[in-house]
A and B are shown apart, each in its own frame.
Chain A
């Protein structure tokens, strides 16, 4: 029996064609890659910089390559993957726009998930409290957060439009990665986590 799965992994897996070749940027403990391998018969690699997470990937039987994403994907050829995934990673990197470019150079399609800074709780904490928001999806203080690029769903869609990146599919979830229909009405206000399926310009 597969372990009970987070809904975000399930949604992403529905976007992935069976048998695809996958590169997961910032793959963490390899849970997504292991799930896609088991459910979608995918093959591929995770890139990770944290030593403990690398060990956990190896324990899970997931291919993991020690990589500093800030150095880019120069070790990977154009078009070498069907999908490049970036779950909860884009907001942690310095060269955001460049990494998006790299992602869609190496992969024919992309999947990006990120915490939505436009969620009403963030807006309220900043507007009324006058403080940088601390919420479940962004739990760190401003001075110790790994999330160095904070952006909203609207910001992200604007960047993709400016770059001509195709927005193929989008789903927003709450902080527990649950899907509820109400969220999709006002995604930038109610969504805490955004999932995007991207296509090349």
Chain B
């Protein structure tokens, strides 16, 4: 029943798929002969097509950012807290687009898709895609939707990296970039964590060098361990302590290796449920896209020089307890933007929720985010009224 959705929800949404037949050259040197992108939209595109917003997803995200696919869905899209009528990304003002990235496993072309050359799933032969490749494919999506320039490109974590890349690669097609809980490139420690996650998958006997689809198995244990490890980096020590402490499930030590502490049970649950909804080859690709992201590398390792390409205005947000992409990493972005003389605002949000805070409706965070998006909405209306006169 539609009436059962909260009033600030976008309600029932239906994903759409677009096929792109023009080959897409990739950073790795290979070319995708054609590809499909699955995406969702919320809100309405205005007459002069100036109110479109692109949402970029993070490592395990997809195109289902807000609303419900079915009336009885237990959970809405992954960023439903931020997208909807009256929410920071207000669908009464904006036309919001979110696609599953290339290499994904939720409907866009990726390792689970059929390789037209072989008639079999790409599997491990799917090319390693980069943030730049994604941005290039998202630009094709914008072309097809008739969107010359986004009012804003918005993302958290790996999504924020895509927003930054947009400002550098397509400066005249993005007016604002909102970059939340991101980093200008991964730290050594970040890459190290990703490598452990990959090794967990690669060393699973059921991985079969990525050809597990044909074997009728999935590298369940490896993907589960990868997700458990990742999850630790999304939370903060303080947040974990507050939520789980050293609580024992049965109230006593049992001197065995089954899950005893609540945190063990929680991580196992996160791992189990992830295996059911995510593909291991995609996980490998997404971690590589993270590792490779480094916009400064194209500009003699000068991030400010990279941002001198940009024309967009920026909002950068970080969270105090995020140690995966800490506030110091966001300040590196801000410093480079100031050196590049770009318009930027920056807010550091107190929170105990670690990296995952970017998904949470934290009042301070939402006040800042909403204030910025209202400015963007104001410009859009202004543009529209100019277009009419």
A45, A59, A80: the one contacting B344 at CB < 8 Å is A45
A51 interface residue per 8 A CB criterion:
yes
Contact of B335 with A63 in the complex, beta carbons under 8 Å? no
A residues near B348, Cβ cutoff 8 Å: 66
Contact of A75 with B341 in the complex, beta carbons under 8 Å? no
Contact of B339 with A80 in the complex, beta carbons under 8 Å? yes
Which single residue of chain B is at the shortest CB-CB distance from A67? B346
| Contact A58/B346 with A65-B334, A75-B338 known, Cβ cut-off 8 Å | no
Contact of B375 with A61 in the complex, beta carbons under 8 Å? yes
B372 interface residue per 8 A CB criterion:
yes
B374 interface residue per 8 A CB criterion:
yes
Contact of B368 with A58 in the complex, beta carbons under 8 Å? yes
Contact of A65 with B345 in the complex, beta carbons under 8 Å? yes
Contact of A75 with B335 in the complex, beta carbons under 8 Å? yes
Interface residues of B, CB < 8 Å — how many? 20
| Contact A58/B341 with A51-B364, A65-B334 known, Cβ cut-off 8 Å | no
Assembly CA distance A81 to B347 (angstroms): 22
Proximity string of chain A (42-74) to chain B, C-beta cutoff 8 Å, 1 when within and 0 when not:
010100000100110111011111100000000
Contact of A58 with B338 in the complex, beta carbons under 8 Å? no
Assembly CA distance A68 to B372 (angstroms): 21
A162 interface residue per 8 A CB criterion:
no
Contact of B334 with A75 in the complex, beta carbons under 8 Å? yes
Which residues of A, 119-134, contact B by the 8 Å Cβ criterion? Answer: none
A residues near B364, Cβ cutoff 8 Å: 51
Assembly CA distance A66 to B367 (angstroms): 14
By CB atoms of chain A within 10 A, which of B334, B338, B375 has the most?
Answer: B338
Which single residue of chain A is at the shortest CB-CB distance from B339? A77
Which residues of B, 164-179, contact A by the 8 Å Cβ criterion? Answer: none
A191 to chain B, nearest CB (A): 35
A65 to chain B, nearest CB (A): 5
B331 to chain A, nearest CB (A): 6
Assembly CA distance A55 to B366 (angstroms): 10
A residues near B375, Cβ cutoff 8 Å: 58-59, 61
Contact of A63 with B334 in the complex, beta carbons under 8 Å? no
B359 interface residue per 8 A CB criterion:
no
A45, A55, A65, A75: the one contacting B368 at CB < 8 Å is A55
By CB atoms of chain B within 10 A, which of A54, A57, A63, A66 has the most?
Answer: A66
Assembly CA distance A9 to B283 (angstroms): 55
Which single residue of chain A is at the shortest CB-CB distance from B363? A51
B247 interface residue per 8 A CB criterion:
no
Contact of B341 with A43 in the complex, beta carbons under 8 Å? yes
Size class of the contact patch on chain A: 10 to 19
Assembly CA distance A18 to B371 (angstroms): 28
B189 to chain A, nearest CB (A): 22
Contact of B374 with A59 in the complex, beta carbons under 8 Å? yes
Which single residue of chain A is at the shortest CB-CB distance from B373? A58
Proximity string of chain B (348-389) to chain A, C-beta cutoff 8 Å, 1 when within and 0 when not:
100000000000000010011001101100000000000000
| Contact A59/B371 with A75-B334, A75-B335 known, Cβ cut-off 8 Å | yes
| Contact A63/B344 with A75-B331, A75-B335, A76-B338 known, Cβ cut-off 8 Å | yes
B343 interface residue per 8 A CB criterion:
yes
A21 interface residue per 8 A CB criterion:
yes
B175 to chain A, nearest CB (A): 13
| Contact A54/B368 with A75-B334, A75-B335, A75-B338 known, Cβ cut-off 8 Å | yes
B residues near A65, Cβ cutoff 8 Å: 334, 338, 344-346
A residues near B341, Cβ cutoff 8 Å: 21, 43
B355 to chain A, nearest CB (A): 18
Proximity string of chain B (16-44) to chain A, C-beta cutoff 8 Å, 1 when within and 0 when not:
00000000000000000000000000000
Contact of B345 with A63 in the complex, beta carbons under 8 Å? yes
Contact of A63 with B343 in the complex, beta carbons under 8 Å? yes
Assembly CA distance A59 to B315 (angstroms): 12
Assembly CA distance A58 to B178 (angstroms): 13
| The 3 residue pairs across chains A and B that have the minimum distance between CB atoms | A58-B371, A65-B346, A75-B335
- A to B CB contacts below 8 Å, 15 in the list: A43-B341, A43-B343, A45-B344, A51-B364, A54-B368, A55-B368, A59-B375, A63-B344, A63-B345, A64-B345, A65-B344, A66-B346, A76-B335, A77-B339, A80-B339
Additional A-B contact list (11), CB under 8 Å, known A65-B338, A80-B338: A45-B344, A54-B368, A55-B367, A58-B345, A59-B371, A62-B345, A63-B344, A63-B345, A65-B345, A66-B348, A75-B331
Chain A residues proximal to chain B, CB less than 8 Å: 21, 43, 45, 51, 54-55, 57-59, 61-66, 75-77, 80
